[in-house]
Amino acid sequence: MATQAVYAFPPKGSLETPEVLRALARAHRYLGELKGTAKTIPNENLLVSTLSLQEAQSSSEIENIITTQDALYRHQIQPESADPVSKEVAWYAQGLDRGFQAVRQSGLLTLNTIKDVQAVLEGNDAGFRRTPGTVLRNEQTGAVVFEPPSPERIPDLMGTLEQYMHAEDAAEDPLVRMAVIHHQFETIHPFYDGNGRTGRIVNILFLVKEGLLDSPILYLSRYISQTKARYHRELQHVRDTGEWESWLIYMLEGVAATARHTNELVQRIGELLQSYKHQIRSEYRFYSQDLINNIFRHPYTKVAFLEEDLNVSRATATRYLDRLAEGGILEKHRLGRENYYINHALVRLLFDLPEMVV
């Protein structure tokens, strides 16, 4: 059982082989296209709030925490009535937002931010592991495949990882560094629980910190979920051999596939938004950009959301939403004592997008 990869960090020698450089060029191409497309959406919160729930669902599925997007959106409407699994998945989206706000404000990705993210998505403040005995097992056979470093080593190892994240003289491309950071984080396995989900959030926060994205909308979880066996195989290959090339290519292929897929989704969201904007502006006197923002930021919206976003009375917000439901733009539903309204075209777009090509 090899653990030397934990201690020989950062990696020595050049990581950017010809094969890695080819994968790197493709990843940057599609990532750049996504960054440009995202700028065409008038309010970044529309994408972040919508796509973060998709990421929360996909990332949690990797850990066998399964829920539906319908349940997640209804959790936003009535958090107190949601099932425990939906609440746990929703914490992921909240942890992502907590990390994004911290990175955007400071320009740094610190250990404190990573701890905060993990605390939010796990619903506790346990911090780094402090007791021995943690092992990673094969899900099918139960056999031990890797033993992470002992708890007393974690602070130093994570400190070294933090220094690597902010190294101003780093020779590697930021996407290569992201892949290295993710591998080292999962190898250290610093927390009792939530390491996989926290590590996937760290990926996107690092890209934001490096300026490769303006907002956290590139999520690798769906790619990892579709290639789960390869993901674990490549992780362990580096630990066993110290050879990084196949792991880096795997991650860079994931960035390219995910950026291409997300770019298509963002384009479709933008087209739908413009279509709704023209329709509501021509057919309803109460059109406003804030109204458009509301029904795209909240695919499932309710009167209280509209009251706050438009600064109108409850009666006025109810009238607006009911009129849009009568016109077929929204669908009106009941949850307990409260009505909610679904932007069905947006939800169908999010649900029906073709599978990612990997």
**What is the CATH classification number for the domain harbouring 301?**
1.10.10.10
Q: Is residue 33 part of a domain?
A: no
Domain match, 347 and 242 both: no
Same domain, 293 and 196: no
Does residue 303 share a domain with residue 239?
Answer: no
Asked which of 227, 261, 295 is the last residue of a domain, the reply is 261
The answer to whether residue 27 is domain-embedded is: no
Alpha-carbon gap, residue 241 to 267, rounded angstroms: 42
Same domain, 238 and 291: no
| Residues 234 and 342 reside in one and the same domain | no
49 in Cβ contact with 215 (< 8 Å):
no
Average pLDDT over residues 164-181: 94
Residues 332, 243: one domain?
A: no
Average pLDDT on 215-220 reads: 88
pLDDT class for 7, splitting at 50, 70, 90? low
Residue 213 near residue 49, CB atoms below 8 Å: no
Q: Give the end of a domain, one of 246, 261, 276.
A: 261
Q: 310 and 169 in one domain?
A: no
- Asked if residues 200 and 59 have their Cβ atoms less than 8 Å apart, the reply is yes
pLDDT one-digit tens code per residue, 272-310: 999 999 999 999 999 999 999 999 999 999 999 999 999
Whether 222 shows a pLDDT value over 70: the answer reads yes
Whether 289 and 252 map to the same domain: the answer is no
Say whether 144 sits in a helix, a strand or coil: strand
The total number of structural domains in the chain stands at 2
Last residue of some domain: 230, 261, 292? 261
Question: Does 275 reside within a domain?
Answer: no
346 in a domain, yes or no? Answer: yes
Q: Same structural domain for residues 220 and 329?
A: no
Does residue 357 carry a pLDDT above 70? no
Exposed (0-12), middle (13-18) or buried (19+): which is 14, by Cβ within 10 Å? exposed
pLDDT tens-place string over residues 233-276: 999 999 989 999 999 999 999 999 999 999 999 999 999 999 99
Instruction: Report whether 352 contacts 313 (CB < 8 A).
Output: no
pLDDT at 145: 78
Q: Is 71 found in the same domain as 133?
A: yes
> Pairing between strand 338-342 and 144-146?
unpaired
- Residues 289, 174 share a domain: no
Q: Is the residue at 14 inside a domain?
A: no
Q: How many CB atoms lie within 10 A of CB 53?
A: 22
**With pLDDT > 90 as the criterion, what percentage of the chain qualifies?**
64
Q: Are both 194 and 322 inside the same structural domain?
A: no
- CA–CA separation, 135 and 133 (whole Å): 6
In a domain, 278, yes or no: no
Question: Would you say residue 12 lies in a domain?
Answer: no
210 falls within a domain = yes
CA atoms within 13 A on the CB side of 353: 20
- CATH code, domain with 109: 1.10.3290.10
Residue range(s) defining the domain that contains residue 222: 43-261
